[in-house]
Amino acid sequence: MSYEIATIPGDGIGPEVVDATLPLFERVADSHGIDVEFTRYGWGSERYLEEGAMMPDDGLDRIEDSDAILLGAVGHPDVPDHVTLHGLLLPIRKRFNQQVCKRPSILFEGVESPLRGYEGGDVEFVVYRENTEGEYADVGGREHVGFDHEVAVQSAVFTRQGTEAILRAAFEAAQEREGHLTSITKSNAQAYSMVFWDDVVEEMHQDYPDVEVESLLVDAASMDFIRRPEEFDVVVASNLFGDILTDIGAIVTGSMGLAPSGNVNRSGEYPSMFEPVHGSAPDIAGQGVANPTATVLSGAMLFEEIGEDGASETLWNAVRDVLADESAPTPPDLGGSASTDEMIEALGERV
Ligand code: NAD
Ligand code: IPM
Ligand code: MN
């Protein structure tokens, strides 16, 4: 099979981890007899600073026919975040109807959790994050800017279709995994959207009677991600809650540098996008020390999504091997001093 992957390295450590990782993906593809072309798009904040836009007007049309999208990270210290993110990342998720965001949190053998008493294998859950609406709906406005009576409104939008889509994906995942689903809301304070969410969970549960459903408020869930992360299997949450919880999930399982994600278009009508959970990390950008593992695993998720399970497995196994091997290089975020390239080299030896 042959595939075309639209590749958007983006900003900061985005291009560092993507450029380092592409040769590894090409090698894995070759070894599995897959013909993959990564088409690079130099979109991002540098382009914004030079040309006034993160991507060309027809940017999304250009990548619409690709088989999948690989993205590094977006965000630049010299450009406001809402400009860069609303100019590139968020429009891709929305326009390509990537309603389901899958974010696994796995404590790998050989990785130290900041939580006392946890070892590799103890934590393995996946967060299903609603990805195109909720608190991220572009609905609202500001008026009387600069005056005492200035007003800002940011509305959260929960549609039945969107809520059912993310819940169905999460219920299905729970059925395939350990049969346990945790739904996260804030229904005690947000009596419309979140109570609606709870109602849809209850309705949909009828279709998946074998799945055990637990409901948690997001504040308590944040605590439990730290107190008892081993008890989660599939977690489902709205856009904003899912965003916050997946940074907690990443750090309790070792590092932002290990956490992959997939923004999935379930109908197949548009491409899905794969990217690390982390951002452009301006604090370490340019030093060549970003951990590329989150990008490697995002690639593993990408290969699985396009139906190339063998290539996906090879990448997952290479990561597991390197992390478990005490003599293999360890990057600074995991307590060592290995560079991005040294990590890729070690992974390359195992594919
Ligand atoms: P961040 O994820 O970029 O960084 C948080 C911390 O994790 C930093 O200390 C960073 O050094 C560390 N870290 C992140 N990735 C790492 C890696 N691969 N290896 C080692 N350490 C790593 O979050 P932030 O600092 O809040 O955001 C920076 C910029 O990125 C902002 O502009 C933000 O809007 C943007 N952002 C973009 C995305 C995305 O493109 N998907 C995601 C999150 C944040
Ligand atoms: C993420 C990021 C984005 C999000 C930002 C950069 C808009 O934090 O992918 O987790 O909130 O979705
Ligand atoms: Mn985030």
Q: Closest Cα to atom 36, ligand 1: which residue?
A: 279
Confidence band of 222 (pLDDT split at 50, 70, 90): very high
- For the segment 224-236, the average pLDDT, to the nearest whole number, is 98
Q: Is the pLDDT of residue 60 over 90?
A: yes
| Mean pLDDT along residues 134-144 | 98
Nearest CA to ligand 2 atom 5: 85
Residue 285 has pLDDT above 90, yes or no: yes
Portion of the chain with pLDDT greater than 70, in percent: 100
- Supply 154's token pair: 């940011």
What confidence tier does 81 reach under pLDDT thresholds 50, 70, 90? very high
Residue 119, pLDDT above cutoff 90: yes
Structure confidence at residue 351 as a pLDDT band (50, 70, 90): very high
**Which ligand has the shortest distance to the CA of 278?**
1
- Catalytic residue check, 243: yes
10 Å Cβ neighbour count for 226? 12
DSSP per residue, 111-151: ---SSTT--TTS-EEEEEEE-SSBTT---EEEESTTSTT-E
Asked whether residue 1 carries a pLDDT value surpassing 90, the answer given is: no
Taking ligand 3, which is a single-atom ion, which protein residues have CB atoms under 5 Å away?
Answer: 243
Mean pLDDT on 79-84:
98
Tell me the per-residue pLDDT of 303-346, one tens digit each, with 9 for 90 and over. Answer: 999 999 999 999 999 999 999 999 999 999 999 999 999 999 99
| Ligand 1 in reach of 238 Cβ (< 6 A) | no
Catalytic residue, chosen from 19, 186, 208, 321, is 186
Element containing residue 168 per DSSP (H, E): helix 160-176
Known active-site residue 30: no
Q: Which residue has the higher pLDDT, 1 or 244?
A: 244
Mean pLDDT score of the chain: 98
Q: Which atom of ligand 1 is nearest to the CA of 275?
A: 41
pLDDT bucket at 73, cuts 50 / 70 / 90 = very high
Cβ of 257 below 6 Å from ligand 1: yes
Q: How far, in Å, are 146, 158, 211, 229, 238 from residue 152 at the CA level?
A: 11, 20, 41, 37, 22
166 lines ligand 1 (CB under 6 A): no
Q: How far is CA 211 from CA 103, 162, 181, in A?
A: 20, 21, 7
CA of 167 to the centre of ligand 3 (A): 20
Interval 172-193 mean pLDDT: 98
Quote the ligand 3 centre to 85 CA distance (angstroms): 11
